[in-house]
Amino acid sequence: MEPLRILGIETSCDETAAAVVLRHPDGRGEILGDVVLSQLDEHSPYGGVVPEIAARAHVDALDGLIREALARADLPLSGVDAIAATSGPGLIGGLIVGLMTGKAMARAAGKPLYAVNHLEGHALTARLTDGLTFPYLMLLVSGGHTQLVLVRGVGDYVRWGTTIDDALGEAFDKTAKLLGLPYPGGPAVEAAALSGDPKRFAFPRPMVGETRLDFSFSGLKTAVRQAAEGLQPVSEQDVSDIAASFQRAVSRTLEERIGRGLQRFRDEFPAFEGRPALVVAGGVAANKALRQTLLDLCAKNGFDFVAPPIRLCTDNAVMIAWAGLERMAAGLPADPLDVQPRSRWP
């Protein structure tokens, strides 16, 4: 098999990204060009992502980022073998911008188009960064998703658990807002928690004890609101204590939920050779306390804990390019040029 080169495009949320990735015949991946433009500054005055602003920002930035990614790879468009663009799930305005751009370029350059599921991109990244083999478990924890997924092969995923209400990143963002901390809330809550007492508030640990592997975080958010309301005025120390107690509740919840997931993996693959792996992805995977919890849990259960570099855990186009390459290498067909973007695509 020849080396394969692909251009990837990601526009599903508030990061505009383009990347060129190479797959060597032996299956190794190599990032040739990778550019991401965060729209954080444009959305932060509103305390969250504004879909209309996001779509316009993608339109403004995407062409230049694609040029830059190709330039870094030192390739003309004719030098790539295919184009991969995120076609869902996500904000429809952004998806339309990225997918239409990918289609137009595929048509003009006579290249195949791969319409990639954003979650598949997250799921397969660890094969690029760590050369993982199937099957493995992936925990995706971002602003929009909280899922535990069994990754069995390219295009072969089983969702073992998902949130029944808020995503974990959303819970961090809402907690930050309640505490008067800036957006995005995750890093702010993590920083505040460092000087707080994690045992001051006994926050609930939703779903703990349930056999199904789902998550729920809205009750935790309510408990945080009640704690803050009970303490008017709220001092800086109170904020730190609430943040630390919140993070501890999340930590303990993940420990129990994911612990159950690891056990289920053992039950489903009793003959698994070597150490199985748990991969984390999504912005919340940047949280050091949660990482440590998962690392300890994995060590205790004989699993490898795989955390790709933060840059590849959060939204990027490398993962979209790589998912396209995986499909090509597996001999899966490209998509027709009338493929439609899907805001919801489990």
- In contact, 75 and 5? CB cutoff 8 Å: yes
Nearer to Zn ion, 85 or 239 (CB): 85
Nearest C-alpha neighbor of 118 from the set 331, 314, 337, 333 = 314
142 binds ligand KG4 (CB under 6 A): yes
Question: Is residue 122 part of an annotated ligand binding site?
Answer: yes
Nearer to ligand KG4, 186 or 341 (CB): 186
Q: What CA–CA distances, in Å, run from 308 to 132, 157, 217, 249?
A: 11, 19, 25, 25
Closest contact distance (angstroms) between CB of 309 and Zn ion is: 15
Nearer to ligand KG4, 250 or 298 (CB): 250
Residue 293 sits at the vertex; the CA angle it makes with 287 and 295, to the nearest 5 degrees, is 95
For the record, the structure tokens of 105 come out as: 């370029």
The 10 Å Cβ neighbour count of residue 199 is 10
Instruction: List binders of ligand KG4 among 263-322 (CB under 6 A).
Output: 282-284, 286-287, 314-315
Question: Is residue 169 part of an annotated ligand binding site?
Answer: no
Instruction: List binders of Zn ion among 253-272 (CB under 5 A).
Output: none
d(CA 221, CA 218): 5
Instruction: Please name the amino acid found at residue 119.
Output: L
DSSP category for residue 314: S
Instruction: List binders of Zn ion among 129-148 (CB under 5 A).
Output: 142
Region of 156-164, 180-188, 199-207, 292-300 interacting with ligand KG4 (CB under 6 A): 180-188
Q: How far is CA 57 from the centre of its chain?
A: 21
Question: Is residue 87 part of an annotated ligand binding site?
Answer: no
For the record, the structure tokens of 237 come out as: 């120390």
d(CA 183, CA 143): 12
Nearest C-alpha neighbor of 327 from the set 105, 73, 21 = 21
Q: Which of 315, 320, 325, 328 binds Zn ion (CB under 5 A)?
A: 315
- Residue 187 contact partner, candidates ligand KG4, Zn ion, none, CB within 5 to 8 A by sort of partner: ligand KG4
Nearer to ligand KG4, 287 or 301 (CB): 287
- In contact, 143 and 173? CB cutoff 8 Å: yes
Region of 186-194, 297-305, 317-325, 332-340 interacting with ligand KG4 (CB under 6 A): 186-194
- Residue 172 contact partner, candidates ligand KG4, Zn ion, none, CB within 5 to 8 A by sort of partner: ligand KG4
Closest contact distance (angstroms) between CB of 184 and ligand KG4 is: 4
Q: Which residues bind Zn ion (CB under 5 A)?
A: 142, 315
Q: Which residues bind ligand KG4 (CB under 6 A)?
A: 13, 142-144, 169, 172-173, 184-187, 190, 282-284, 286-287, 314-315
Binding site for Fe cation, residues? Answer: 118, 122, 315
